[in-house]
């Protein structure tokens, strides 16, 4: 975390929020990791760094929860026990398989695999989990077999992405309406550019729809798992958000959103 913090200071950040993964009941095999975070030393290190770098940057404590029904109690217990500033809820597993892995697509065609992802997301949104914003709502499009082929060739195919969104927009709208009615926000995640989509996650059309439906809470993240990806393509974000109708973004402290003018 200290290396990530130094990178943030080099980029002249005034604040940063760490949101490491906590994916309870992740199906770990010999070739896949457990996404479990040891919370106590995590908080201790954040406190140490907050004190060490207090004159340079404000550090906020966050977490990204991989949501699913069979770990709801653990997620609720975690957010109740620890004083997080910010909590992201995300869908990483569909029928206990991460679409990141090729095996997910072996038993389904593209359209049904994507639909099942959004159905699972809607189920997760309705679980009653304690989170502030939902992460990378269109995560699934990063990893379709065709998208992987396009990425390998360095090709951005907007017509393909538009078709995927058109096929899924009805259920995406239902997800967004549910989030808004529950007082939850979404993020603009610039990792979509890193993954070769040519767009953020979620896509601009989803961001615009969220705003048109009355959504106001939107946070900015780069999903940086390495220092080199911190604030990846952040320079694109202000124009994207303004074009989608936003005039403010949100920063969370103590689970409360502060609206910051773009």
DSSP for 22-40, please give it. Answer: E-TT----TTS------HH
pLDDT, tens only, 59-104? 999 999 999 999 999 999 999 999 999 999 999 999 999 999 999 9
pLDDT, tens only, 219-234? 999 999 999 999 999 9
Helices (H) and strands (E) in the chain, counts: 10, 8
What pLDDT score does 35 carry?
81
Answer yes or no: is pLDDT of 28 > 80. Answer: no
The domain locations on the chain are 2-261
As a whole number, the mean pLDDT across the chain is 95
pLDDT, tens only, 183-230? 999 999 999 999 989 999 999 999 999 999 999 999 999 999 999 999
Round to whole Å and give the CA distance between 172 and 150. 24
Phi-psi sector, 251: left (phi>0), alpha (psi -120 to 50), beta: beta
Answer yes or no: is pLDDT of 144 > 80. Answer: yes
Answer yes or no: is pLDDT of 30 > 70. Answer: no
List all residues 6 or more positions away from 188 whose beta carbon is below 8 Å from its beta carbon: 200, 201, 202, 207, 218, 219, 220, 221, 237, 240, 241, 249
Answer yes or no: is pLDDT of 32 > 90. Answer: no
Round to whole Å and give the CA distance between 12 and 62. 20
What pLDDT score does 212 carry?
98
What pLDDT score does 31 carry?
64
Helix (H, G, I), strand (E, B) or coil at 67: coil
Pairing of strands 86-90, 15-22: unpaired
Q: Please report, rounded to a whole number, the percentage of residues in the chain having pLDDT higher than 70.
A: 98
CATH architecture for residues 2-261: Alpha-Beta Barrel (3.20)
Answer yes or no: is pLDDT of 29 > 80. Answer: no
Region 241-262 average pLDDT: 98
Answer yes or no: is pLDDT of 152 > 70. Answer: yes
What pLDDT score does 107 carry?
83
Q: Please report, rounded to a whole number, the percentage of residues in the chain having pLDDT higher than 90.
A: 95
What pLDDT score does 189 carry?
97
The token duo for 157 is 């195919």
What pLDDT score does 143 carry?
95
Q: How confident is the model at residue 34 (pLDDT cuts 50, 70, 90)?
A: confident
Q: Which of 96, 91, 94 is nearest to 126 (CA)?
A: 91
Q: How many CB atoms lie within 10 A of CB 31?
A: 6
Region 119-128 average pLDDT: 98
Helix (H, G, I), strand (E, B) or coil at 246: coil
């Amino acid at each position: 975390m200290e290396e990530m913090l130094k990178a943030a200071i080099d980029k002249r950040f005034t604040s940063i929020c760490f949101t490491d993964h906590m994916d309870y009941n992740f199906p770990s095999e010999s070739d896949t990791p457990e996404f479990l975070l040891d919370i106590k030393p995590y908080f201790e290190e954040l406190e140490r760094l907050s004190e060490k770098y207090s004159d340079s940057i404000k550090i906020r404590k966050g977490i990204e929860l991989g949501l699913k029904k069979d770990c709801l109690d653990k997620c609720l217990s975690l957010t109740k026990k620890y004083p997080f500033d910010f909590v992201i809820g995300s869908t990483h597993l569909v029928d206990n398989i991460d679409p990141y892995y090729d095996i997910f697509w072996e038993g389904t065609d593209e359209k049904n695999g994507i639909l099942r992802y959004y159905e699972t997301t809607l189920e997760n949104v309705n679980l009653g989990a304690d989170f502030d914003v939902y992460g990378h709502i269109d995560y699934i499009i990063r990893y379709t077999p065709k998208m992987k082929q396009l990425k390998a060739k360095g090709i951005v195919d907007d017509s393909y992405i538009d078709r995927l969104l058109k096929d899924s927009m009805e259920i995406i709208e239902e997800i967004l309406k549910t989030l808004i009615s529950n007082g939850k926000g979404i993020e603009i995640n610039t990792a979509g550019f890193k993954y070769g989509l040519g767009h953020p996650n979620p896509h601009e059309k989803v961001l615009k729809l969220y705003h048109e439906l009355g959504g106001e809470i939107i946070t900015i993240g780069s999903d940086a798992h390495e220092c080199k990806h911190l604030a990846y393509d952040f320079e694109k974000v202000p124009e994207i958000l303004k074009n989608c109708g936003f005039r403010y973004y949100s920063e969370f402290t103590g689970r409360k959103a502060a609206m910051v003018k773009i």
